Amino acid sequence: MDLEELKKQRLQELQNELYQKQFEQQTQVQQQVEQLESLVKQYMTPEAINRYGTLKSVHQEKAVQSLVILTQLIQQGKIKEKITDEQYKSLLSRMTEKKEFRIKK
């Protein structure tokens, strides 16, 4: 083998390692999201779960953010009853409110 072949082989090995690590990280994140879903869905009405599913298929990041917020509220003991569709819509609208920043001179 010449030097160029060794370089190509090493580059391929490094790329394979990187792809493997990325795959493992994605799998880990997916498992964490599934755990959050299973917890939060216990506290949601079927209509709210349906809205979450729709949101997840369109805006996955926003859906996960809502899971994180709801998980925190559940862990803090602030949610005792099932979250209705209206309550979930209210949470989502508060998440999307634009925050204005004003620069004073």
pLDDT of residue 98: 61
Beta carbons of 56 and 21 less than 8 angstroms apart? no
Other Cβ atoms closer than 10 A to 37: 19
Give all domains of the chain, ordered by start, each with its CATH number. 3-89 (1.10.8)
pLDDT of residue 27: 93
In tens digits, what is the pLDDT along the chain, a chain of 105 residues? 788 899 999 999 999 999 999 999 999 989 999 999 999 999 999 999 999 999 999 999 999 999 999 999 999 999 989 999 999 999 999 988 765 556 666
pLDDT of residue 97: 73
Question: Phi, psi (5° rounding) for residue 66?
Answer: -65, -35
Q: Tokens for 12, please give them.
A: 């391929």
Beta carbons of 62 and 97 less than 8 angstroms apart? no
Q: For the chain, give percent helix, strand, coil, nearest 5.
A: 75, 0, 20
